């Protein structure tokens, strides 16, 4: 009896001791340690960790580009400036404020102001991994070509002709300029008049002659055209089988200027073909650029 009584009296202490030895106290975390770093969600390294080199002077460019507009090389000075303006106004990727900075950098590079151009890039947190501001050409463009990144990791590709003047540029007023300004016209259409209301270009000697009454012009639709300099919209009527030159003629009438360029998706529309052949639908908008 006495033995049993002594065991019962000592059992609470034994239980406590066993519990303490079986479950040691967890170490306390110091209060001054920072919380664990969370992995980035985007998968892109921060801008401070990306490769960045000082930009170099752009390489010379021998020729005007072939597939940018419907004007064949060589380009004139005014056409080059127009295409550069169109390039920056028709960007659909990236951020508008970054494109505005890059446009300023292009102007500085053309004046060979490398230090100022670099300062502008640094102020906008724009990095240039290999020092080449403009994108390269050919199959190895992605591996060896240029381009810049904003602080979000978005790539901005700028063609070389936007950065540097091609070597074959013709100054305005040069004898070759007048022949090639409208896309390489050789004068074969000099006797042709403007587009008539049905979209058929009538030669001056044929004016007054009758035309077929059953001419199929396609479906009648409306075309929205936006003036790039003021964001003013105009709507013109158009039949889907008419050449795009009909729209161009009516745009000239609306905006009161003979020198206009009508663009769709960054390219000058081919006036000799229907708009549908360049991918346009009645839901799309055309861009209008008025030049002096």
At residue 137, the pLDDT reads 58
Within a domain: 59: yes
Say which CATH number the domain at 230 has: 3.10.20.90
Specify whether the CB–CB gap between 264 and 251 falls below 8 A.
no
Within a domain: 182: no
158 plus 57 within the same structural domain: yes
Between CA 89 and CA 85 the distance in angstroms is 6
CB atoms < 10 A from the CB of 122, how many?
12
56 plus 154 within the same structural domain: yes
146 plus 252 within the same structural domain: no
pLDDT values of the chain reduced to their tens digit, one per residue, 292 residues: 455 454 454 444 544 445 544 455 555 555 555 554 444 444 445 555 667 889 999 888 999 998 888 788 899 998 899 889 888 888 888 998 999 999 999 999 999 999 999 999 999 999 999 899 998 654 444 445 688 999 999 999 999 999 999 999 998 876 555 444 444 444 444 444 454 444 444 444 444 444 434 567 888 899 988 887 777 788 888 888 888 888 888 888 877 665 778 888 877 888 888 898 888 888 888 888 876 5
Say which CATH number the domain at 131 has: 1.20.225.20
Within a domain: 126: yes
154 plus 227 within the same structural domain: no
- If DSSP codes are grouped into helix, strand and coil, which group holds residue 140? coil
Within a domain: 227: yes
Specify whether the CB–CB gap between 278 and 267 falls below 8 A.
yes
Between CA 197 and CA 250 the distance in angstroms is 10
Within a domain: 263: yes
Between CA 287 and CA 92 the distance in angstroms is 14
The whole-angstrom distance between residue 212's C-alpha and the CA centroid of its chain comes to 45
Residue that has been written with the tokens 């479950």 in this structure: 23
At residue 35, the pLDDT reads 52
DSSP state letters, 250-288? HHHHHHT-S-EEEEETTEE--TTS-GGGGT--TT-EEEE
At residue 286, the pLDDT reads 87
At residue 187, the pLDDT reads 42
Residue 84 tokens read as 């550069």
Number of domains in the chain: 2
Between CA 89 and CA 95 the distance in angstroms is 12
Give the global pTM.
0.50
At residue 207, the pLDDT reads 45
Specify whether the CB–CB gap between 192 and 201 falls below 8 A.
yes
80 plus 156 within the same structural domain: yes
Specify whether the CB–CB gap between 201 and 211 falls below 8 A.
no
Name the H helices within the chain: 2-22, 77-89, 96-110, 114-123, 141-144, 160-163, 175-180, 245-255
157 plus 228 within the same structural domain: no
Half-sphere exposure (Cβ direction) of 108: Cα atoms closer than 13 Å: 18
Within a domain: 40: no
At residue 15, the pLDDT reads 46
In terms of residue numbers, what domain contains 250?
Answer: 194-201+217-290
Within a domain: 244: yes
63 plus 151 within the same structural domain: yes
56 plus 146 within the same structural domain: yes
63 plus 131 within the same structural domain: yes
136 plus 237 within the same structural domain: no
Within a domain: 267: yes
């Amino acid at each position: 009896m006495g033995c049993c009584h002594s065991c019962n009296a000592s059992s609470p202490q034994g239980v406590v001791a066993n519990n303490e030895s079986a479950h040691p106290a967890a170490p306390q975390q110091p209060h001054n340690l920072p919380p664990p770093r969370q992995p980035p969600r985007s998968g892109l390294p921060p801008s401070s960790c990306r490769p960045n080199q000082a930009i170099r002077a752009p390489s010379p460019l021998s020729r005007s580009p072939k597939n940018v507009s419907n004007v064949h090389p060589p380009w004139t000075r005014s056409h080059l400036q127009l295409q550069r303006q169109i390039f920056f106004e028709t960007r659909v990727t990236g951020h508008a404020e970054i494109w505005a900075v890059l446009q300023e950098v292009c102007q500085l590079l053309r004046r060979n102001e490398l230090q100022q151009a670099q300062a502008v890039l640094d102020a906008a947190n724009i990095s240039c991994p290999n020092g080449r501001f403009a994108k390269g050409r050919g199959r190895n463009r992605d591996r060896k070509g240029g381009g810049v990144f904003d602080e979000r990791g978005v790539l901005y590709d700028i063609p070389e002709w936007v950065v540097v003047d091609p070597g074959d540029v013709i100054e305005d007023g040069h004898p070759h300029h007048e022949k090639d300004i409208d896309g390489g016209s050789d004068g074969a259409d000099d006797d042709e008049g403007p587009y008539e209301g049905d979209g058929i270009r009538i030669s001056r000697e044929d004016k007054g002659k009758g035309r077929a009454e059953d001419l199929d012009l396609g479906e009648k639709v409306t075309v929205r055209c936006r003036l790039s300099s003021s964001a003013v919209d105009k709507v013109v009527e158009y039949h889907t089988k008419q050449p795009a030159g009909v729209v161009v003629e009516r745009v000239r009438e609306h905006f009161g200027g003979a020198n206009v360029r009508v663009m769709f998706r960054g390219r000058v529309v081919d006036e000799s073909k229907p708009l549908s052949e360049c991918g346009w639908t009645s839901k799309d908008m055309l861009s209008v650029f008025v030049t002096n």
